[in-house]
């Protein structure tokens, strides 16, 4: 079994649920993918990090940092950063706060000082539905002087997020689409 097949197995066992759920976007769905149940699992974290790193390696230009909105992206950016170090191509991680820090530096971005000034970054999310969270992250990252070179996710629910991001000039790459994961 390869890494992608094993990750699919973990996602279906740990993260996929049937029922009626309200998503972050406000939409109602008959299924839910609780990505954190897989991304916070030791094996799941490694597999996500490995497979997302492989997508980042294929980026047309070098990536100098990996980040995303807390909380969904936290385990992903850490896993990718660790895999990059193991591959002798260390890429620092950063986290975007939902609200600016209320004290000290007042930053939206944690880990910013580890990034080369103005570098190209990859943004990630565990599950993408409408793309709204990623558009917010893109805005904050670009306002800090960084360039978004890649947007990646573990699962694209195929509910408009990829199209919304592409219209804004940011094609979405995914490990799995909803169709690939659950048919």
The answer to whether 180 touches 155, Cβ cutoff 8 Å, is: no
The pair of three-digit structure tokens given for residue 116, joined into one six-digit string: 């080369």
pLDDT tens digits for range 127-157: 999 999 999 999 999 999 999 999 999 999 9
Range of the domain at 81: 3-182
pLDDT tens digits for range 68-123: 999 999 999 999 999 999 999 999 999 999 887 666 666 889 999 999 999 999 99
Q: Report how far apart, in Å, the C-alpha atoms of 85 and of each of 97, 103, 142, 182 are.
A: 24, 32, 25, 32
Q: Report how far apart, in Å, the C-alpha atoms of 183 and of each of 77, 109, 172 are.
A: 27, 37, 20
Give this prediction's pTM.
0.95
CATH of the domain at 174: 3.40.50.2020
R_g of the chain computed on alpha carbons: 16
pLDDT tens digits for range 32-66: 999 999 999 999 999 999 999 999 999 999 999 99
| Cβ neighbours of residue 77 closer than 8 Å, sequence gap 6 or more | 66, 67, 68, 93, 94, 95, 124
Number of domains in the chain: 1
Nearest residue to 154 via CA among 14, 29, 49, 59: 49
> Per DSSP, what are the bridge partners of residue 93?
66
């Amino acid at each position: 079994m390869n890494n992608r097949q094993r990750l699919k197995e973990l996602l279906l066992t740990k993260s996929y649920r049937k029922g009626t759920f309200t998503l972050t976007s406000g939409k109602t769905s008959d299924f839910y993918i609780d990505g954190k149940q897989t991304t916070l699992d030791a094996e799941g974290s490694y597999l996500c990090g490995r497979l997302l790193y492989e997508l980042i390696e294929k980026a047309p230009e070098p990536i100098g940092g990996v980040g995303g909105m807390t909380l969904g992206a936290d385990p992903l950016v850490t896993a990718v950063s660790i895999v990059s170090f193991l591959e002798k191509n260390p890429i620092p991680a950063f986290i975007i706060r939902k609200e600016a820090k209320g004290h000290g530096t007042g930053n939206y971005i944690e880990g910013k000082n580890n990034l080369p000034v103005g570098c190209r970054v990859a943004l990630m999310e565990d599950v993408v539905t409408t793309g709204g969270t990623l558009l917010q992250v893109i805005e904050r990252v670009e306002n800090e002087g960084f360039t978004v070179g890649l947007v990646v996710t573990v699962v694209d629910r195929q509910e408009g997020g990829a199209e919304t991001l592409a219209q804004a000039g940011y094609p979405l790459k995914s490990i799995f689409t909803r169709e690939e994961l659950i048919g």
